[in-house]
Structure 1
Amino acid sequence: MATGERSIQHLMEEITNPDVGTVVVHGISGLGKTWTARQAYGRAMASPLFDVFLWISLSVTCTKRRARQKILESLSIVVEDNGDEERVTEKIHSFLSGRRFLLVLDDAWFTEDRMLATLGVPTPRHNASKVVVTTRTMRTQTVMEPDVVIQQSSLSRKESWDLFCQISGHSIVNRFGQMVVEGSHGMPLLIVLMAGALKDSITDSANEELTAKVSSALLNEVTAARFAYSMLPDDEVKHCLVYCLLFPGDMALHDDELIQYWLMDGLIAEGYLSVAATDKAQKILLLLLHRRLLYRDDDDHVRMHEAVREVLMDTGRQRGDHGYSCATHSEGLTSIWFPDGRNKRISLMESSTDRLPQIPQSFLSSLFLRGIRWLKVIPNSFFDNRQILTLSVLDLSFTAITNLPSSTSNLANLQYLLLKGCEHLEELRNIRSLRNLLVLDASGCSALRTISPGSFAMMNMLRVLDLSRTSIESFPSLSRLPELRCLFLRGCRRINFQEKFPYGITKTGHLLSLKLCTESNAVDWNVMQWLQAGLTWDEHAGVYASINTCVDDNRSYLSVSNTSFFQYLDKDSPLWDNCFLRFHIRVCPSEEANRDSEFVFQNENFVFRETYFGTKYCSHPPNACRFLEIHHVRPWGIGGVLHHADVVFLNDVKLVKQLSDFELQNLRGMRECWIQRCDQMESIFTAELEDVSEVLSLEKLWISNLEKLSFLFAGVEKETNFTSLKHIHIDCCPNLVGLFCSTLRFQNLETLQIRFCDKLESVYDHSVIGEEAFPRLHTLRLWELPELKSVCGGILPCLKHLKVKECPKLKALPVGVNDMTPIAIIRGERQWWNNLTWEDERIKSHLLFRRWGRF
């Protein structure tokens, strides 16, 4: 058995051992302790052994207070005002006492006795719970009072080689691979760092200089991390990696958030809102993951290994040209300088302090106070310091501040103000003079109700404004924000717009993204003149909607999760002429969206494409430019959009018994209709609609998998001619017995296809003459209709193509001989052809029979 698997199984044995409560996995940095614990944790989650699972990432700088807070947040326990330490400890103890829990404390550095009790964790053995601790220190191993200590083992030579090949992507024998495997002594982190650093140079075995560097880097994980850093392609990538030191070692970073920090703080030359900058940042993140200098904490969060972190910090402290310098201070501050002038970045993120320390005397470009959950007050004079006046980025997110200090108005150079998740902030003030502000993010400030009048009066540069999930009730005018590109108001359920919405935003505006709530009182849709491309509504009340415009075809694409959205879009709304002249609207619940990810009208990859209407699947009328798809929902309130739709597709639509339920007047513009899997639909149209043939402009009708369909047109007593219909396709309707009643006529029908209708006995009965019913029908396809006996009486005078497959009871064909009859091509099975009966044998001379092949 491989060493890694043995380690996992050993840990699993202790986790399942009823006599063991606390297990410590001990070993030096880079041996794979976290990996072993993560694998065992995953296996335990698949068992019924525990009720609660907690993975708590720690670090050398993580305090007891922060550790308790992380446990509290993992349990989703709310303690008002974050509570005092004793209260938090009691809450944790009370929650866990009655439950079987598995708690992993990863990379612990505790030094005090009785640490589990200090954290509020009950003695694990008493209720069949388990605590697993990974640590590098003997002191932590002792104070955790373990029942079992597992010493992490190094990898075997084969495991080392397999790991190197897995990371590098090369399985061939080469000089570098052999050097790393021999020199790593089975240290997983060393192998991973070296393989990641060399994966793009792995075949360069002739490079003696590189070979010497590799040999020197194999001393330990410190030298390996330095080598991996030196192998990064340029300073821009290196600075993005070093920037991660501003975040605590035990903090996992969401991909998008990390990229946003890089962009805001100027690490990417192309600029903040530039698509090119975002693309470059994403490539840099992938490269750092590719080189294993960052690693995945889960699907969308990344972290830096503590050993890499220590190397970068140590490198930044040393004198010399490293491209950056850094320092840590006794108050927990981390400072980083890049060679971009004398400005520096300072971070106190996720600190356990409740007051701000003295900021070192130096000109600042960025200050990060994010996550100081006990920080309630920032002194009014805090931003009076002339070194702080140079601030470009200020992050106060997830603090307990109740207001911004008056000195905030001094920050004339501030470009990015982040207040996310400041749940106690009630009023946004002291920001009027921030004339250079580009981004203001107050999302998640749930108590925020007001913004001081005139706050945006001088913000001519503001490009992003996010007030999502706030309690703001009134909204100031945006008419003085000429550069605004993104406005986010998701979840703002109390907001009341006073004038035409959105203020100052018109067809000529520059917004790239607009996100709103869906409360019925939030927007007066009747006066809305324009919907901005990039507009998104949130999922409040189960509704999600987003709109985008395609430059190539000038079509608006609107994705909606619920038809209730359309109750605000009246058929007479100016929006139809202003921004929905061409549209593709898709209604589909969010849980079904992935399953139906392809738009039906864009899909050409299916077997019977060439049979649909005798053309390609997407051959719509030349002037058809308004498409409506509805999937898996009840289609109520869609009269307005139906009124404007050229092409309508209904898939698994609930509680609709006939197309007539949508009101005939709303279907006047429909040129093409596709209906499938609507299991309640019994007919398409009924006799109650006496003017249906005159009102409808329907040219193409496609029906599939309607289990209850018994009639296409029910109860039509007077003769009715559907002059607009040109193509009909019917597929998999098991209860359809007769297709058309004798009063119906289709003067301009050109193609008719019927497939897999097991009970269908006739298209028309013999009393209906083909010359009158289908005078222009030129293509007829009949496939697997075991009960079909007749098509119609008389002949089909324009029939050119007839395909028949597995219709054994169809003994006669509606073809005849006269001077106007074209020569028809008949395709079918040879036996069926031989069994046909003919009133006049001369008819065969006008027919070309071809044995049935690909249908």
Structure 2
Amino acid sequence: MGNIVSISLPSDPIFDCSCWGSLIQPPKYIRRLKKNLEALDHSFRELTALKADVLRKVEVAELQRSMKRLNQVQLWIEKVEKIENEVAEVKHGRVQEIQKLCCGAYCSKNYLSSYKYGKNVYKKLAEVDDLKNKGIFAEVAEETFPATLVRERPMEPTVGMEFVFYKVWSQLEDEQVGIIGLYGMGGVGKTTLLTQINNKLLHVDFDLVIWIVVSKDHNVETVQDKIGDKIGFSSNSWKQKQQSDKAEHICRLLSKKKFALLFDDIWEPIEITKLGVPIPNPHNKSKIIFTTRSEDVCGQMDAHKKIKVECLAWDKAWNLFQEKVGRETLGFHPDIQRLAQTVAKECGGLPLALITVGRAMACKKTTQEWNHAIHILKKSAHEFSGMEDKVFRLLKFSYDNLADEKVRSCFLYCALYPEDFFIFKDDLVYLWMCEAMLDEYGSVEEAKNKCYDIIGTLVAACLLEVNVDMVKMHDMIRDMALWLARDCSKENDSFLVHTSAQAAPDVKKWKTATRVSLVDNHIESIVETPKSTQLLTLLIQGSYISRSPLNMIVDGFFDYMHKLRVLDLSRNEKLTQLPSGVSNLIALQHLNLSRTGIRELSIELKALVRLKYLNLEYTNQLNFVPPELISNFHMLKVLKLFGCSSSDRILFGGERALIEEIEGLKHLEVFTLCIRSSYCFKKLFSYNIIVTSTQYLHLSDGKNYSSVLDISSLADMKHLRGLHIDEYPNLEELEIYWAGQDPNDPRNAMMRNQSRFCGLEYVDVCRCPNLKDLTWLVFASNLRILEVRDCSGMEKIIDLERFGRMAGAVKEQNAFAKLTDLHLDSLPRLRSIYGNALPFLHLNQILVYECPALKKLPLNSTSAERCNLIIRGQKEWWNGLEWEDEVSRSVFLPYFMLEFGEVLRTDFKETDLGQFSDHLLFFSARRKYILYKDL
């Protein structure tokens, strides 16, 4: 039949059907697996070594030659990094796959698995070999950027910022100024200004200009990465480096360049050296410019120059507003232009508000719409279109960034006062002290230090504006604060602010309020009793502009105010008595009755046993204080009687003089008073607590005829800050004399007391026609403000000739070293202020009016080196001044301002002072007295 071949197959399970596949198809991936793995190991080691060589060349080029790696090199490095991970995965399954091999590594127990693995090994081997071949680069890096690299930033046309721009630019041109801080409130245009600077740098020889927006929660590494992106360090490997390594890279590159680094919107100080940025200096000529809302940040950033970006002046603000509203709308109705000016003024010169409101009004073409806008902006600005989202929320960032809740509460407290209202710092001290905001501070001085620290924090954050001894809120900041108090405040801190009101608000609105403000009121009477059981603060100050009409508060008005801490009824000159029921104010700590028509203090006030502050200044009608009333205020720390016309009789009259009650107040720290007789003046110094606590003293002797006034006793009053000497018709000399000295040799007496009058800061002398000089002032080393008015016989302010041979020693005392303001008015015989020129390190203003004989000022060309001086006076007087040389005259010519003299002589009242800017707030040539209590 034919040969029959019999084949016997082994039954061993390891010889399964997969082996048949290997017999049919040559298994090169399986058969060469071990050799391919060995080849992959060898080739991969060469690739990693090559990568290390390339990276080293790249880093050398980047760090030492300020170059940037080529894109093809970066791509190759990224591919190598990718295949490193893939090869690692292949090696991970190596042992398992080799164990599957059989028949002398010719076959596999799992053919499909081994086949796929072997094929992957072969593929990776080919890829590694390919990368090795492509990793040979003639150049690995190129120049990072052109010789000059400044990217222009888009911006809208600016209005009104020309002056501040050139101010900044002049500092950029100063080689000694390397770091410039631009600070100001939110929305004032700091970023716009920085953008202008950036674009101007297009035409300046900087190698590199870097713009960095700093987020509020920045850290060093995120800022380093932003800088790295701008200078070519953008690879993942660079970003993964340690902070110190990044700093080294940045430093090596920037140290070889003239750079300008622009930081926008810094909230917290950045440590420049930790970033790796070289500090600008005259050698490298680099610059750092940054914007911030905090002046404090400028200091912590070691800014060589701090420049505040202010709100726009009215003419610039009006131009910006017109631009945003448009000519078509402004010309649509003849009254719109006038109404538009009122709307624009509500924005307070803040560019962001002007732009927001202007754009919102661009389509409003009826007078009714404009009148409605005025109403909304005055009463509840947050309801105006875009104001809350675009303005208030931006400003709120500054509020949120305040250190703690106490500072925030103090900030909101300032919003209780009207627009453009100047608040005296010392008034805030006493208010916050009695509001339990400064409870942890035992003494008035400690509370004052903390209060000034808080005020400084708010001023530095551009949330308050400072003017010498006063602060005020910008209109938009105040509107934002009221919005916060209304919508974001705690349930137990509700504000009801009804300033400049013609009538008291509905008593229903008082029910939940904790703080009510009717400051600058025009209210004639308050006839309803509010059930204000939670009320802590009640301010019913009269108007500063005109005599307040308030003449009556209904009896029982205070019946529900058991928690009230602060009551201010000041400046209500027609209010002659307090309502009955004042005894209900058992928690009251602060009572201000100054400038009221109060005729007598009610015996009900005895119930106010927690009172710490009582102000009776300028209560010209007050003629009776019940016995033992003042002594009942055991906790009283502040008592003010300055300008009280009946103070002599009240203090020293009666069976038990009031001054004896005051002497028993063990906690009294601040006392002000008016003395109108020589007898009372001498008796005053027998009361120790009066001597140690008196801060402001008014001396007047119009009914007597003393030719000499011995003020020696004042010299040792260390806390005496202000002295007002008024109406001494026959006074010829202010004498300094004390026991143990020869009264006939005033020179020796003066010389031995160079440390006296150490607390005296303010002196006002007026209506003393026979007084010839104020030579004793050379020893008032801390004098800041001096005003001399209506003294027709005054010949010299300081008469050095009175010291004879010791005049040289007196000159060495550097008189007026701390003087900031000098006001001379109606002194027809005045010939000299001081015998020679003085440095005047802090002098801000010299005001001279109707002093025709004064031909020389104590100034020379060096006097203005370290002061920001303004000289105000009449043109004829200025032209007649004699100078040490022409250089001195030319130095001070830019400081002279003529127009102030015209403004000063207008017939405004002393009660208008709070509405005037600069030093008009303190002084008026026509007012009858200086308001020392306000200083």
Bigger-Rg structure (1/2): 2
Choose between structure 1 and 2: higher helix proportion. 2
Query: Same-fold call, TM > 0.5?
Result: no
| TM-score, normalization by structure 1 | 0.40
Choose between structure 1 and 2: higher strand proportion. 1
